[in-house]
């Protein structure tokens, strides 16, 4: 007599699924960022006449910001249905996977409204209480970057080369100051960079693009007072891939916090930390 066969346990349809590997998400997320960038471009030529609202002094939002974020939300819910989503323009979708996609639909809205090139779609992954992966697409620059963690950073499909030590006498550092930050705090940073470090200063008006400039080796570091987490969630993992670093203690940082930090080449970032107490 044959022993009775034991039935296979049925899968619980409500049990959480294992998150998709980041490597498998690179191509669809790059395509999504580019789709979102194309949508933003449909507004770009008329941005200075389009619906523009003020969230605060020199802090703008447009219809394009909201439409792009809505597109990103819809596509991410299809692509990663178990993941949470958090966006600058109000998106808040709960998830069960432990992952949160953090969106800045147009990072550099002020530039966008004024017709400048330095703005980008930013899609960042927050996992294990820190930025883990990111995709950035700058439509006017025709630039797409992705990477973070186990996924090496790429720029338009080519690997980002490792960052080299800064060259004395050629220092360049980007800055980003939220309009609500105290003037004296901003001046303290500028005095440090000019007088103590003797570097030139860039201000692009987009946190993502400023950090991209560091990752590409065009500047040595970026210093920010008042950035939001959505400003940097995609860019920081990309920067870490070629050897960059940042000063944010993510174990003490909430997604809703405003940030005071430096990031960039290790040597330059450490010097900023020592001199400016970022």
pLDDT of residue 58: 40
| Cβ-contact 125, 22 below 8 angstroms | yes
- Judge whether 58 lies within some domain: yes
The answer on 181 and 76 residing in a single domain is no
Side-chain-side CA neighbours of residue 237 (13 Å): 30
- Judge whether 45 lies within some domain: yes
Q: Which domain holds residue 86?
A: 22-159
| Cβ-contact 152, 240 below 8 angstroms | no
The whole-model pTM stands at 0.89
On whether 106 is known to bind a ligand per the annotation, the reply is yes
- Judge whether 4 lies within some domain: no
pLDDT of residue 1: 47
The answer on 146 and 261 residing in a single domain is no
On whether 167 is known to bind a ligand per the annotation, the reply is no
Helix H or strand E segment including 6: none
SS3 134: strand
| 134 φ, ψ (degrees, to nearest 5) | -155, 155
The answer on 150 and 204 residing in a single domain is no
Express each pLDDT in 70-118 by its tens digit: 999 999 999 999 999 999 999 999 999 999 999 999 999 989 988 899 9
The answer on 120 and 41 residing in a single domain is yes
- Judge whether 269 lies within some domain: yes
Q: Could you tell me whether strands 84-87 and 200-202 are parallel, antiparallel, or unpaired per DSSP bridges? A: unpaired
- Judge whether 34 lies within some domain: yes
Residues of the chain with pLDDT under 70: 1-18, 46-61
- Judge whether 242 lies within some domain: yes
The answer on 233 and 204 residing in a single domain is yes
pLDDT of residue 145: 98
Is residue 60 classed exposed, middle or buried when 0-12, 13-18 and 19+ CB atoms within 10 A define those classes?
middle
The answer on 187 and 154 residing in a single domain is no
The answer on 91 and 46 residing in a single domain is yes
Q: Which of 159, 192, 225 is the last residue of a domain?
A: 159
**Spatial distance between the Cα atoms of 143 and 156, rounded to a whole number of angstroms:** 6
| C-alpha distances out from residue 160 to 23, 106, 154, 253, Å | 16, 23, 5, 28
On whether 104 is known to bind a ligand per the annotation, the reply is yes
pLDDT of residue 59: 46
Non-local (6+) Cβ contacts of 60 within 8 A are: 52, 53, 54, 109, 110, 113
**Spatial distance between the Cα atoms of 166 and 191, rounded to a whole number of angstroms:** 20
For residue 250, give the DSSP letter: G
pLDDT of residue 17: 64
- Judge whether 97 lies within some domain: yes
Q: Which of 111, 129, 159 is the last residue of a domain?
A: 159
């Amino acid at each position: 007599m044959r022993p009775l066969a034991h039935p296979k346990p049925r899968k619980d349809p409500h049990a959480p699924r294992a998150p998709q590997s980041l490597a498998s998400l690179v191509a669809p997320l790059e395509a999504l960022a580019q789709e979102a960038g194309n949508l933003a471009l449909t507004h770009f030529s008329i941005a200075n006449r389009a619906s523009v609202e003020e969230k605060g002094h020199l802090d703008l939002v447009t219809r394009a910001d909201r439409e792009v974020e809505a597109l990103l939300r819809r596509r991410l819910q299809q692509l990663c249905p178990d993941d949470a989503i958090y966006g600058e323009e109000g998106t808040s979708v709960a998830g069960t996977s432990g992952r949160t996609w953090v969106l800045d639909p147009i990072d550099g809205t002020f530039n966008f409204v004024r017709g400048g090139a330095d703005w980008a779609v930013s899609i960042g992954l927050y996992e294990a209480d820190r930025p883990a992966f990111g995709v950035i697409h700058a439509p006017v620059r025709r630039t797409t970057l992705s990477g973070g963690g186990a996924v090496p950073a790429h720029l338009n499909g080519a690997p980002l080369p490792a960052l080299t030590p800064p060259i004395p006498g050629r220092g360049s550092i980007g800055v980003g100051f939220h309009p609500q930050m105290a003037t004296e705090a901003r001046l303290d940073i500028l005095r440090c960079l000019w007088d103590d470090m003797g570097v030139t200063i860039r201000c692009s008006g987009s946190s993502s693009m400023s950090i991209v400039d560091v990752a590409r080796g065009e500047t040595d570091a970026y210093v920010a007072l008042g950035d939001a987490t959505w400003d940097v969630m995609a860019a920081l993992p990309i920067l870490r891939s070629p050897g960059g670093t940042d000063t944010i203690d993510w174990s003490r940082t909430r997604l809703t916090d405003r940030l005071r930090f430096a990031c960039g080449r290790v040597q330059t970032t450490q010097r900023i930390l020592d001199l400016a107490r970022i």
